[in-house]
Amino acid sequence: MSIIKAIKHRTSNAFMTDEDVASDLIRQILDAAVCSPVHHRTDPWRFLVIRGEGRKRLGDVMADHLAQDIEDPESPKNVKFLGKIRDKALRAPVIIVVGAAKSDKTQALMVEDVATANAACQNILLAASALGLNAFWRTGGVTYSENTVSALGFEVGTELVGFIYLGYPKKEVPPKTRKTAEEFIRWMEN
């Protein structure tokens, strides 16, 4: 498939089976991820692959993040709510947390290393799609919390850019009808 066709064919599909994804497939996908462009050779990509029981630890991190803003997290209503949040980490057999580590290089700009990590996420989505897998890019407030960075064992100063839920499709969803770029373009030619 041409690259343009592959880009247009990719569609986010949240419905995944419980079937695990082989480690060598995950490695192939992450090898594609680190082909994203990078300035000053900072190599900022950081990936945490969460699967199996590890997902329960992620669920706890997600629930703890929300619990800190809840007055009474022990109330039956909130216990139920936080239980549902924990279960969100079980929506796919594999979750890849993607971050950009802070570089020691003086020329490095965090905004650019975050751009590299975001481009890596798109490579993950495209590589997964090419391998017949679903990948769904999610974030939420938990992504941007320093507590999450440390709870998931990333280096201090790392900025997380996404939680990519990965698995085999439960049901196919048709490719979306996409806009053309026309309405977003301005040309400056003289």
Residues making contact with ligand FMN (CB under 6 A): 11-12, 136-140, 162, 176
| Residues 36, 144: Cα–Cα separation, whole Å | 22
Strand partners, 163: 97, 138
Considering beta carbons, is residue 79 or 90 the nearer one to ligand FMN?
Answer: 90
Considering beta carbons, is residue 42 or 134 the nearer one to ligand FMN?
Answer: 134
- Residue that has been written with the tokens 């979750």 in this structure: 95
Tell me the three state secondary structure of residue 64. helix
Strand partners, 165: 95, 136
- CB 187 to ligand FMN: min, Å: 26
- CB 161 to ligand FMN: min, Å: 7
- CB 99 to ligand FMN: min, Å: 13
Considering beta carbons, is residue 14 or 67 the nearer one to ligand FMN?
Answer: 14
Considering beta carbons, is residue 53 or 182 the nearer one to ligand FMN?
Answer: 182
> Angle at CA 141, nearest 5°, toward 21 and 127?
30
